[in-house]
Amino acid sequence: MIITKTFKMAELIHDNFELLSVLRKFNIPLGFSEKTVDEVCAEHRINTDFFLEIVNSFNDSEYFPQNKMRAHDVEDILFYLRNTHKIYLNKKVPEIADLIEKLEFPKDHEKNKALLKNFFNEYRQEFILHIQREEERIYPYITALSDALRNYKTDAAFYNNIQQYVIADYQKEHEDVEEKLYDLKNIIIKYLPVPENAETYNAILIKLFKLEKDLNEHSRIEENVIIPKVSEMENVFFEAVKDGKMLIV
Ligand SMILES: [Fe+2]
Ligand SMILES: [Fe+2]
């Protein structure tokens, strides 16, 4: 079933409560009364079509209209991806770290907690660096490129940058942050003895599965929407430079 703009927003959540996480990424609060998807999006100045593509692709892993997604303003896509980063760093990752802290292994197995903590902390550091690089280098580069194409004007610093680093370089460097989560889940599922508070242990595992699914979604947008879109924008930029239409000041 494909969700359309005339659906009631409240019904979306009744049908799949996991969409709550998508709403958070769009900064849409609850309290919809009888409003439709289109009405709620308009109220929050969100592009309804982009919202529907994200919601539908979250609902159904087979659904991923990458060409339609690429047609949206790059800033709309980056807004969504930046909010997703914030949720990972401020909420999802600290929640897992807190739960690991609460694990209680029997006295002679306490080293298992340290092992899990170390593995997770290493992952956390890599993950933070991954996000920082995107937030501090890649996304600002995309915004500068988008501004240049909008105004047919850019500065020498950006022109210098784009000659040395294009989105294809990012594509090569873009690590798979999901793979390590799989290893972490495996340590828990296969190898470690169960701690005394098994409920907390399961809660960690469930959160890891959810984070992995969410990251797959996120990376899929970066790799199949953002990268090809920016690559096309770069071609337009270089054409404009060649034709003397891009003012470099
Ligand atoms: Fe990202
Ligand atoms: Fe990424």
Domains of the chain, each with CATH number or no CATH: 1-63 (1.10.3910), 72-248 (no CATH)
Q: For 87-125, what is the HEC assignment?
A: HHHHHHHHHHHHHHHHCCCCHHHCHHHHHHHHHHHHHHH
Whole-number pLDDT of residue 81? 98
Q: Does residue 80 register a pLDDT over 90? A: yes
Q: What is the mean pLDDT of residues 11-24?
A: 95
Percent of the chain with pLDDT over 90: 89
Q: Report every protein residue that has its C-beta within 5 angstroms of ion ligand 2.
A: 222
pLDDT value for 108 = 82
The pLDDT value given to residue 178? 86
- Token pair 């760093």 is found at 89
Beta-carbon contacts of residue 197 (< 8 Å; ≥ 6 apart):
102, 103, 104
Question: Rounded CA gap, 13 and 152, in Å?
Answer: 43
Query: b/e for 167-176, b at 16 or more Cβ within 10 A?
Result: beebeeebee
Check pLDDT > 90 for residue 185.
Answer: yes
135 CA from centroid of ligand 1 (Å): 8
Residue 197 to residue 184: CA distance in whole angstroms: 18
Ion ligand 1 — residues with CB under 5 Å?
134
- Fill in the DSSP letter of residue 10: H
Residue 51's pLDDT is what? 98
**Assigned token pair, 176:** 């798979």
State in Å: Cα 35 to ligand 1 middle. 31
Q: How many CB atoms lie within 10 A of CB 132?
A: 12
Residue type, 97: A
Tell me how far the alpha carbon of residue 212 lies from the centroid of ligand 1, in angstroms. 13
Cα 39 to ligand 2 centroid, rounded to whole Å: 31
